[in-house]
């Protein structure tokens, strides 16, 4: 069996760390070829010492110099590169076989797209590549013979629950609808009147998953589920009306597919991202992920609840952006990133996050998204509009910290 070279973009984040954990269990199958991080010099250095990749990429030259000094002291011969272009370079490198695209936010789009255009096996954990540039990204996959495996637990569950020929068309293979499950986050049962004053630490305390702060807030607002609706549209060529969201607090059923004959296929498992990562790395084989056995008796009751649209307006906004098409999803994503950052910086209340997004989505011109420049321009314009909206006094967080 040929050992496959894996590049992990965003290796110090939760997905990256889990990916390296799975890789370490299969030295006969995988070798770490390149790693990247934004600014965590020490964490990246420790990963380089353990896996000895050929390349390590970090955001800027200052961090790169610090990393070089750190690796030289450890007698690690990994070559250090810096900057966004270096990310695309390692993603498209001739010796890279598999790319784990796990950089959070719009920053992960160029390198993910570079991997697709280079015909790599792309394990896509970066939502924004499809949310912002779905048609462009999928065209790159098809035109360059890339292999795309979704790593989000929900889309991976759908992928596992569909027949292999689903690319012929969902209705042709008997699919009635795709059902995305959502935990509901930490505020599922909290009074709506109490949400204005929640803190970033409270929003990041997810009851089931250990994630980064940005995606944890997205889970609390359920914008993550809205983004996943847009992802599902592109991954499975599913119109909005074929995609449903239900709240499932236990996070045991990761998503489902309903067929025309009334059958519902579901993928179940412990809430551990190593399962979809292992599925993507090993496909079509099943490989050990280091995840414990699911004890259904211990899990007990599995609940499914209709989405509360008033509590989670971000889901409605995502459906609206999907139906608008063009640059609307990129505008939605950019406004969300700016609003979440303001909330984490405690300059915006939790309940103002969807208000900022809605104002920007409705106040920004939506244009066709035919080139990457169209996407980048829409992203930049939406960020400016979101910052201007946040700067207005009615949206400033006034609650006591």
Looking at residue 397, its pLDDT comes to: 44
Angstrom distance (rounded) from CA 65 to CA 206: 36
Angstrom distance (rounded) from CA 319 to CA 351: 19
**Domain extent listing, the chain:** 4-150, 159-271+294-395
Q: φ and ψ at 2, to 5 degrees?
A: -70, 130
Q: Residue 75's CB: how many other CB atoms inside 10 A?
A: 7
Looking at residue 188, its pLDDT comes to: 83
Q: Please classify residue 125 by burial: count the beta carbons closer than 10 Å to its beta carbon, then call 0-12 exposed, 13-18 middle and 19+ buried.
A: buried
The answer to whether the CB of 224 falls within 8 A of the CB of 316 is no
Q: Structure tokens of 307?
A: 């989405």
Looking at residue 147, its pLDDT comes to: 97
Please confirm whether the linkage preceding 284 is cis (ω < 30° from 0). yes
CA distances (Å), origin 381, targets 108, 110, 220: 18, 18, 26
Widest CA span in the chain: 63
The answer to whether the CB of 115 falls within 8 A of the CB of 92 is yes
Q: Structure tokens of 261?
A: 């004959």
Looking at residue 208, its pLDDT comes to: 65
Q: φ and ψ at 269, to 5 degrees?
A: 175, 165
C-alpha triplet 127, 128, 134: angle, nearest 5°:
100
Which CATH class, in words, describes the domain spanning 4-150? alpha beta
Helix (H, G, I), strand (E, B) or coil at 199: coil
Nearest in space to 33 (alpha carbons), one of 70, 68, 8, 50: 8
Handedness of CA 168, 171, 174, 178 (dihedral sign): positive
**Beta-ladder partners of 241:** none
The CATH code belonging to domain 159-271+294-395 is: 1.10.1740.10
| pLDDT, mean of each 10-residue run, the chain (401 residues) | 95 96 98 96 97 96 95 96 95 98 89 97 92 95 97 96 94 97 85 84 75 85 95 96 95 96 97 96 96 92 92 96 97 96 93 96 95 94 96 54 38
């Amino acid at each position: 069996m040929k050992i496959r070279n894996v590049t992990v973009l965003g290796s110090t984040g939760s997905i990256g760390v889990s990916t390296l954990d799975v890789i370490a269990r299969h030295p006969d199958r995988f070798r770490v070829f390149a790693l990247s991080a934004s600014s965590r010099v020490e964490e990246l250095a420790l990963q380089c010492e353990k896996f000895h990749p050929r390349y390590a990429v970090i955001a800027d030259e200052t961090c790169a110099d610090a990393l070089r000094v750190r690796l030289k002291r450890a007698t690690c011969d990994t070559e250090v590169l810096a900057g966004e272009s270096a990310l695309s370079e390692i993603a498209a490198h001739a010796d890279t076989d598999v790319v784990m695209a796990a950089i959070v936010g719009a920053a992960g789009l160029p390198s993910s797209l570079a991997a697709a255009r280079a015909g790599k096996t792309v394990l896509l954990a970066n939502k924004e590549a499809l949310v912002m540039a779905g048609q462009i990204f999928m065209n790159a996959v098809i035109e360059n013979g890339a292999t795309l495996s979704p790593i989000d637990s929900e889309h991976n569950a759908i992928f596992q629950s569909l027949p292999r020929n689903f690319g012929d068309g969902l209705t042709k293979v008997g699919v009635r609808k795709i059902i995305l499950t959502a935990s509901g986050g930490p505020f599922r049962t909290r009074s709506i009147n109490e949400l204005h004053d929640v803190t970033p630490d409270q929003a990041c305390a997810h009851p089931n998953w250990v994630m980064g702060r940005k995606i944890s807030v997205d889970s609390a607002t359920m914008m993550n589920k809205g983004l996943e609706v847009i992802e599902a549209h592109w991954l499975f060529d599913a119109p909005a009306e074929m995609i449903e969201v239900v709240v499932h607090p236990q996070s045991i059923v990761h998503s489902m597919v309903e067929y025309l004959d009334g059958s519902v296929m579901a993928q179940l498992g412990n809430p551990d991202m190593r399962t979809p990562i292992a599925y993507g790395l090993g496909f079509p084989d099943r490989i050990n992920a280091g995840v414990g056995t699911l004890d259904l008796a211990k899990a007990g009751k599995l609940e499914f609840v209709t989405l509360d649209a008033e509590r989670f307006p971000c889901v409605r906004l995502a459906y609206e952006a999907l139906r608008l098409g063009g640059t609307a999803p990129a505008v939605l994503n950019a406004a969300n990133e700016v609003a979440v950052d303001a909330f984490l910086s405690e300059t915006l209340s939790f309940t103002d996050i969807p208000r900022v997004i809605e104002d920007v989505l409705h106040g920004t011109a939506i244009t066709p998204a035919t080139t990457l420049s169209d996407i980048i321009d829409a992203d930049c314009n939406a960020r400016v509009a979101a910052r201007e909206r946040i700067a207005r006094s009615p949206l400033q967080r006034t609650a006591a910290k």
